[in-house]
Amino acid sequence: MAGKVNLLGHPVHPMVVVYPLAFLTATVVLDISFLATGNALLATISYWALIAGILTGLFAAIFGIADWAALPDGTRAKRIGGWHARANITMIVLFAIDWWLRRKTPDAPETLPIVMGVVAIFLGLVGGWLGGELVYRLSVGVDFDAHVNSPSSFSGRPASDLKETLPASQRG
């Protein structure tokens, strides 16, 4: 099943989830580094990475919800997609609370928001695993006609097209 919202032949959701994952992981790493060093600059950078992670997470969720809505009702993919969404939305909510708690002193966060970020990132790992289950196990967003010599998405040809992708001696 193809993604509901595509760009140049590829589903958008997996393209954009890398941004919140990177920003939110950076938030946690910078927070832990702040705790270890007391360097306020690390906390400030963490604060801005946190904001970027929340915003890009909400952006990625738009495309994920569109893809989830297109899944057939009553399927394992629909159920797993729902749990994937719940895990990641809960992660974003935890990070939003993290932001709320530190907004007045971004250069000196207390321990609670940092702990919340660590819990949230582990929840994100669960959500990511569920997303992997959708793609790698259930083939959501995968072109079933694709093969190792499929033409580029830019070619306008279907993935199953072997024309000009194999030497003449190997074409069937």
Q: Is the dihedral of CA 145, 148, 153, 154 positive or negative?
A: negative
The residue whose two tokens read 């966060």 is: 109
The one-digit pLDDT tens for each residue of the chain (172 residues) are 556 787 887 889 999 999 999 999 999 999 999 999 999 999 999 999 999 999 999 999 999 999 999 999 999 999 999 999 999 999 999 999 999 999 999 999 999 999 999 999 999 999 999 999 998 898 887 777 777 788 887 787 887 877 655 555 665 5
pLDDT at 158: 81
85 CB-near residues (< 8 Å, 6+ apart): 61, 64, 65, 68
What gap in Å lies between CA 64 and CA 59, rounded to an integer? Answer: 9
Would you state the pLDDT for residue 47? 98
Buried-state track 151-168, b at ≥16 Cβ within 10 A, e below 16? beeeeeeebeeeeebeee
pTM of the full structure: 0.86
Partners of residue 11 on adjacent β-strands: 6
Give me the pLDDT at residue 105, please.
96
User: What does the pLDDT read at residue 4?
Assistant: 77
How far apart CA 170 and CA 103 sit, in angstroms, is: 62
Q: Quote the CA–CA distance of 122 and 103 in Å, as a whole number.
A: 23
Q: What pLDDT is stored for residue 10 in this prediction?
A: 80
Question: In whole angstroms, what is the distance from residue 96 CA to residue 90 CA?
Answer: 10
> What residue ranges do the domains of the chain occupy?
6-141, 147-172
Place of tokens 């499929």: 150
* Token reading at 33: 């580094």
